[in-house]
Chains A and B, each alone.
Chain A
């Protein structure tokens, strides 16, 4: 059974704080790791798709790193803003034609 874990389950930070959370996935047979942001009452929105060990991606104040050998990815948010409040989901694929396994998500609340 493929298991994707995310930690912490939830996080409350002050506006301006930087934060990071972790996605853990099986380190054998890796194909891709996705990060999504899911705001309340909206659809999940793609942040990054990462395929290579050592990948680092950045979009504005949000960045992500990938370690496929040890099976983890970090998502970083620099200078958190209230509009960053959302659930952050990672999703793992072991092959291009295989199922997508989502983690349970990390719920981030940024307090003004």
Chain B
């Protein structure tokens, strides 16, 4: 079956611009996670959705970052007034339920802020 997909695969934007990153989870997966990965480090947790609601958004670095999952499926990560420090690979993962289930990762979106 189809895995987790993320679009776009690459995004180059200018400092100060707004960007949206999309994640399509595996059908039927209720849990969805967003991570940010910088070179040489493990994925950094951003936000976790269970259904439509954010169960834990404590990893969002500041109020420029926001994520939604209005129908409990597709999720969008929104970054306002982008900064060069936001450049990273943004990973999305979904799982059947909560923490005891393995996560299936998408290919990531590489964001470059110039």
Residues of A whose CB lies within 8 Å of any CB of B are 4, 6, 31-32, 34, 36, 42-46, 49, 51, 89, 91, 93, 95-105
Contact = CB atoms under 8 A, between A and B. Distances in A.
Given A102-B43, A103-B42, A104-B41, A46 B50 contact: no
A70 to B, nearest CB: 20
Interface string B43-83: 11100101000011011000000000000000000000000
A31 B99 contact: yes
B99 A96 contact: yes
Contacts of A102: 35, 42-45
Interface of B: 3-4, 33, 35, 40-45, 48, 50, 55-56, 58-59, 91, 93, 98-108
Nearest to B108: A43
Nearest to A90: B42
A73 to B, nearest CB: 15
Given A43-B107, A44-B105, A46-B104, A98 B99 contact: yes
A100 B107 contact: no
A100 B102 contact: no
